[in-house]
């Protein structure tokens, strides 16, 4: 059976892409994903992604997600973004029970509008669905996770790679960190720039950097 069919049956490769969802400016999207450790403990990870820049923000890792825990992660995001948090005009999320009214209130306090996707409609939150799929294909399906601290450390390293080194089709092959620059970088011209490979996550992934 083709790998794509296996992933679809396992629920790991949901359809969707950036062209399948509306593109409201200044929007953020949260998503939960689960990770099973080698000791068969299930951990839950909350991630946020900024729609316009594709920046990923790691919310937190826990074995017992609750509404109160999710609210604290939203507050942590507000502290991390600082004044940029007020630029969020929309929060697009699913209807999970951990996204409570108190969770929404953190974003509504700065004037953001909450947009809830329909039930079993992953294409309405396609940007986050794509991020979850990327995390699984490029990282979590390749790592034997030992503990909550381990998965947090691995995801923190990957977040730096995702935001500072990984090009994204939705933003013309730029990296999310470039979106705040006056002159964002474009795809490297291999005829004029030297490419150097840098291993990250103990060689699990390779980061390719430009050198003059």
Flag whether 3 is in a domain: no
Query: Which residues does residue 58 pair with via DSSP β-bridges, in sequence order?
Result: 47
Return the beta strands (E) in the chain as ranges.
Answer: 27-36, 42-50, 56-62, 90-93, 113-116, 194-200, 205-211
Flag whether 162 is in a domain: yes
Residues 160-191: tens digit of each pLDDT: 998 998 888 778 888 887 655 443 433 444 44
Sign of CA dihedral 168, 171, 173, 175: negative
CATH of the domain at 112: 3.30.420.10
Flag whether 165 is in a domain: yes
Instruction: State the total domains in the chain.
Output: 1
Residues 80-106: tens digit of each pLDDT: 999 999 999 999 999 999 999 999 999
- The whole domain housing 171 covers 12-211
Flag whether 1 is in a domain: no
Flag whether 4 is in a domain: no
Q: Return the percentage of the chain with pLDDT > 90, whole number.
A: 51
CA distance 159 to 140: 13
Flag whether 44 is in a domain: yes
CA distance 124 to 23: 11
Flag whether the pTM goes above 0.75: no
Helix residue ranges per DSSP H, the chain: 3-10, 67-81, 101-108, 126-138, 148-164
- The rounded mean pLDDT for the chain is 79
- 41 near 63, Cβ under 8 Å? yes
Flag whether 5 is in a domain: no
What pLDDT does 17 receive? 36
């Amino acid at each position: 059976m083709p790998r794509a069919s296996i992933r679809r049956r396992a629920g790991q490769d949901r359809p969707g892409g950036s062209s399948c969802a509306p593109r409201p400016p200044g929007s953020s999207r949260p998503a939960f994903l689960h990770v099973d450790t080698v000791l068969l403990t299930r951990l839950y990870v909350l991630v946020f992604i900024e729609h316009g820049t594709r920046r990923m923000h790691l919310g937190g890792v826990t074995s017992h997600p609750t509404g109160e825990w999710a609210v604290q992660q939203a507050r942590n995001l507000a502290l991390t973004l600082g004044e940029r948090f007020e630029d969020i005009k929309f929060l697009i999320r699913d209807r999970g029970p951990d996204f409570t009214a108190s969770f929404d209130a953190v974003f509504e306090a700065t004037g953001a509008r909450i947009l809830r996707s329909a039930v079993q409609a992953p294409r309405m939150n396609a940007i986050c669905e794509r991020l979850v799929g990327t995390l699984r294909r490029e990282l979590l399906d390749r790592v034997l996770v030992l503990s909550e601290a381990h998965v947090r450390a691995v995801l923190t390293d990957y977040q730096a790679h995702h935001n500072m080194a990984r090009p994204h089709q939705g933003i013309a092959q730029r990296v999310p960190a470039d979106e705040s620059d006056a002159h964002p970088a474009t795809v490297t011209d291999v005829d004029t720039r030297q490419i150097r490979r840098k291993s990250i996550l103990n060689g699990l992934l390779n980061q390719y950097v430009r050198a003059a």
